[in-house]
Chain A
Amino acid sequence: MLWSQNASPIRPQNLYLVVYISLMFGVLSSLPDLSDQSCTFKVTLRNFRVILSWELKNHSIVPDRYTLQYLVISIPDHMKTVEHCSNITASFCDLTDVWDVLSETYAVTVDGFRGNTTLVTCFIDFFLATHISLEPPEFDIVDFTDHINVNVNFPPVIPKILDGKVLQFYLPLIIEEQSGGIVKKYNPTLDENVTGNFTYVIDNLLPNTNYCISVYFKHRNLEEIHRSPVKCTLLPPAQDTGSSESAKIGGIITIFLIAAVFISTILILKRVGYICLRNDCPNVLNFHNMSSWVFPEMPPLEAVAFVEVIHTNRKKKVWNYNYDDESDSNDETAAPLTNTGGYTKHGLVGGLLGPTSASSATWEDCLEPYTEERDLSEPEADTEPLMALGPKPGGSECTSGAHEGRGKLLQDPFSEEDSSSTEESGDKIIFNVNLSSVFVSALDDDGSEGPPASPCFPEETYNLEDSHRLETSFLEAPGEGTQPSFPTPSAECPWPEDVLSDISDSSESGVDTGDGYIMR
C-alpha cells in the first residue's frame, strides 16, 4: 500500500497537543504503577501483540509456573482462565486474542506455583487504554535522491483492541524525520483494516543530506510513548537534478541580464537623443478617439432639389431633307443623309454637335438661357432674333462652355457652308427640300446674318403648349428668315424632335409663316 505525502507535517492539532501535553505532564507523571504488594505488571503492545508481563517484587520467591486469570470490570462474569496462560513457566502471556476491548478495565490475577503449592498471588486492575505501552512497529526505509520510502510492517491481522478506528483516532501512527536538528512529524492516515506493508513517502528532500527516521504510536499517556530506534540514511547526490537546476537558474539570470541591457540601452538612447519619443502626436496619429476614426462622420448633406421627370413617349419623326443639289450633298458640312423613306436627313448639325454638347452642359443648364431667350425672341427678335440666342458673357455653363462647342461646331458647318455657298450666293443659304418636308426655305434677299445659335430646348421641361408657342414663335420670327430657327436636333442638348414632329404634323395645311418658311 503506497501512500503519498499529502498532509502538512505540522498540523494545528499537533501544536495544541504539544502545549496541552506540557501542561498535563505533571498529572500524567503521577499515574499509579501497575503493581500490588507482590508483583509489578506491564501490558505492552509489541509487534501488534498484547503482552502482559509481571515481575515478582520479592525475588526470593521463585515460582516454577504461573497461571493467569482475568475478568472485565464492566461485565459481571466469573474469573476467566486463559488456557495458553495456565501453568506457564514464562512471566508473560500473550493476550492478543483474549482482550479485545481497549476501553475496558481488566482485573488480572496471576498465581505462582511451585509444585502444588501456591507461592504468590498477584492482583492488578487497570484501564487498558491508558496503561498499555505501545512499542513501535518494525519498519525499514528505502532512500532515493530526493525522497525516502518508509515501509511499516503491519501484521496480516490487526488485533481486536485496535479495531474500530483506534489507530486513526486514539493511537495514531507518527513518522518522525530528523535532519540537521530539525524534526518533522508526519501523521499518515491509516485505513481501518490496514495490513501488510504500509509505505509512506517522505518527499521534497535534499539530496546528499543525512536523514534519520523513527516511527511510533502517539499515546495519550506520554509515558507510554516509545520511539523506535532511528534509521539514518544519506541521500545520494543528484548530479542531473543539480545541473538542470543550475541551468534553469543560469537561464533566468541571463534573461534578466538581457532585459536589463535592452532597457538601459533604450533609456540611454532616449536620454542622448537618438530616440525622440514625442508625447504630442499630430492629429493624424491621434488614435485616442477610435470611434470617430473607425466610423468617420458623414459629410453635411447638400441641399438637393428633387425634380420630377415625366417621360412622354411620342412617335419620333425624322426630318428628312431631300437635296436636289447634288453639289450640296457633297458638301461635308451639309452632308445630307439619304433616308430610306425618300427623305434626306439634314444631319449636318445634329450629327456633329451631339457628343460635344452632351459633354459640355446638362439639360438643367440649358433651361435658363432658353427662358431668357424666349423673352427676347418675341418683340425684339425683329432685328436679331437668333443672335440673341447666342452666347452671352457671364452666362451659364450652357451658354459659355457649351457655347464654345457651339461656336465651333455650330458655326463651322455654316461657316464652311458660307465659304461654299455664301461666297457664291452671298448671305443666302438655299435648301432644296422635298415637299414632304416640313419647312421650305424661301429665298430671302436679306440673307442670313450669320450662323445662328441653336437654342437649347430641354424636352422635359416645358409642356406641349409651350412648345407650340415656342415653335410658333420661332416659326413666326420675322426678319432674317435664315434657318437658325431650323429645328435641328439640339447641338448641345437633345432637341425635342418629337415636339417638332407634332408641330409639323399639326401644320399639315401649310401656313406661310411670313419669314420665308411655309409651315405645313
Chain B
Amino acid sequence: MTSRCILQTALLVYFSTTVLAVNYDLLRFQLSSSSVECQNLLLQLNGTTKDCIKDRMNFKFPEEIEKPQQVQKEALLLVTLDIFQKTSDIFRKNLSSTGWNEIIVNNLLEKIHWQIEHLEEILEKIKEEENFTWDDRTLLPLKRYYLRIVRYLKAKVYSICAWKIVRAEMLRSFFFLDKFTNYLPN
C-alpha cells in the first residue's frame, strides 16, 4: 500500500514537472508561428509604397538581434517580449489615415497580445525556477530602434506613407524575430 502511494506520488511529481516545465521546442514553434502570422497580417494591409519613396527611412534594426551569436534563452525571451510589446504600442497609435482594414489590425493586435501574455507567464516561471537577473542594457538598442520609429511617425504626423514605411519595417522586424527564436535551446 505504501509503495503504491509512493509510486503514484512519484508519477504525479514527474508528470507535474513535465507539464509545468518550459517546453522550449513548443515555445520556439509558437514564437516562429506568431512571427509568420504577424507578417502575413501586415501583408494584408494593402497599400503600395509607390508614392512614398521619398518618405523612406532607415530605422537601423539592432545587429545584436539581426545577427545573433550566442544568446541566452532568458535574453532571447525578453527581446521577443519587447518586440511584441513595442509593435503593439505602435499599432495602437493613430491609424486613421491609413484606411487599413480594422479587422486585420485588430487580429494583429490580438495575436500580439496573446503572445505577450504567454511570454510573460513563461518568463515569470523561469524567474522562479532559475532566479536569473537581467541587464536592461541588452534591450537598450531595441528600445532605441522602436523609439526611432515612434519619432518618425510623429514627425510624419502619422501619414499614410509613414505608416506604409513603418509597416515594411515591421515585416523586417518579424522576420528577424522568426530567425531569432530559432536560437532557443532544444
Contacts and interface: CB of A to CB of B under 8 A. Distances in A.
Interface of A: 12-13, 16-17, 20, 24, 27-28, 30-32, 36, 71, 73-76, 79, 102-105, 107, 123-125, 127, 129-130, 164-166, 168-170, 220-221
A31 B40 contact: yes
B50 to A, nearest CB: 5
Contacts of A104: 172
Given A36-B48, A130-B39, A107 B59 contact: no
A32 B46 contact: yes
Given A20-B33, A27-B41, A74 B169 contact: yes
A320 to B, nearest CB: 97
B29 A103 contact: no
A13 B176 CA distance: 19
B37 A30 contact: no
B43 A31 contact: yes
A103 B35 CA distance: 13
B41 A13 contact: no
Interface residues of B, number: 33
Contact of A76 (B44, B57, B172, B178): B57
A127 B43 contact: yes
A28 B33 CA distance: 12
Query: Chain B: interface secondary structure?
Result: helix
A13 B30 CA distance: 10
Given A24-B36, A165-B182, 20 more contacts: A16-B29, A16-B33, A17-B29, A17-B33, A24-B33, A32-B43, A32-B46, A71-B56, A74-B172, A75-B56, A76-B58, A104-B172, A123-B48, A125-B48, A125-B168, A127-B171, A129-B171, A129-B175, A130-B43, A170-B179
5 interchain residue pairs of minimum CB distance:
A103-B175, A105-B168, A169-B182, A76-B56, A16-B29
Contacts of B172: 74, 103-105
Contacts of A169: 178-179, 182
B110 interface: no
B19 interface: no
B5 interface: no
B156 to A, nearest CB: 13
A13 to B, nearest CB: 5
Contacts of B46: 32
Most chain B beta carbons < 10 A, residue from A20, A74, A76, A168: A74
